[in-house]
Amino acid sequence: MAFSGTLGAKRGERRLLLLSDIGAGLMTKKRLSPWICAADDAPLRIRLASASPRRLELMRQMGLDPVAGGVDCDETPLPGETAPAYVLRLALEKARLGAQAGDADYCLGSDTSVVLAGEILGKPADADAALVMLTALAGRQHQVMTAVAWVRVADGAERSAVVTTDVWMRAATPAQLSAYIDSGEPMDKAGAYGIQGLGGYLVTRIEGSYTGVVGLPVAETLEMLSELMP
């Protein structure tokens, strides 16, 4: 997806716009965010099929203001299912279930897993499980895989992708990990850490999408939405 500064912006203002929109009457379109334009003046209704406050905040940072709510689906990995296939299946299932609410034009589903040597690390069941996960991750490289899936409600058209980021963690003592767990931050996060919070201390390097590690890769999410929009 290519971008370009808009020519003739008033008072030197510069905005980034999709090049694909320039030849299609861009200046007559309604701007939903700096990155997305609607084809007409109808309001764009978006549903986020997730109860994650982090994903909701990232969408709002994109200039989108969705209706948000989690959906019920079985998150047990299937026998022999690879990590990319697992997160993609869950993201699609969440988007499809959310679309059934009928209150949006587009529905977004997403799922994130931390993957260590091919093993999927979900959210810890308790403090002991969090300590086991963090001890395994400390001093090693792992992957964070976040799948994004959009459904266009009117006709069921879909776009989906898995974004993988390599993450390196520093070595940490049991006392440090226990203190981090006592903060409560790890308990609702895949892999038992949050890069955007106190857990950021544990991360020494990443290669890939920072927002994907947080829970929603911004660039890919917007690109797929733009592909679905008329």
Return d(Cα 86, Cα 77) in angstroms, integer: 6
Residues 6+ apart with CB under 8 A from 96: 107, 109, 151
Pairing of strands 46-48, 106-116: parallel
Pairing of strands 46-48, 67-68: parallel
What is the separation, in whole angstroms, between the first and last Cα of the chain? 16
Backbone angles phi, psi at 117, to 5 degrees: 50, 40
Of 65, 103, 111, 166, which residue is the catalytic one?
Answer: 111
CB atoms within 10 A of CB 81: 13
Using CA of residue 78, residue 80, residue 83, residue 84, what is the dihedral sign? negative
Residue with tokens 């544990």: 202
Q: Which helix (H) or strand (E) holds 140?
A: none
Residues 6+ apart with CB under 8 A from 52: 110, 215
User: Is 111 designated active site?
Assistant: yes
Return d(Cα 119, Cα 114) in angstroms, integer: 8
106 strand-pairing partners: 46, 152
Backbone angles phi, psi at 148, to 5 degrees: -125, 135
| Active-site amino acid positions | 111
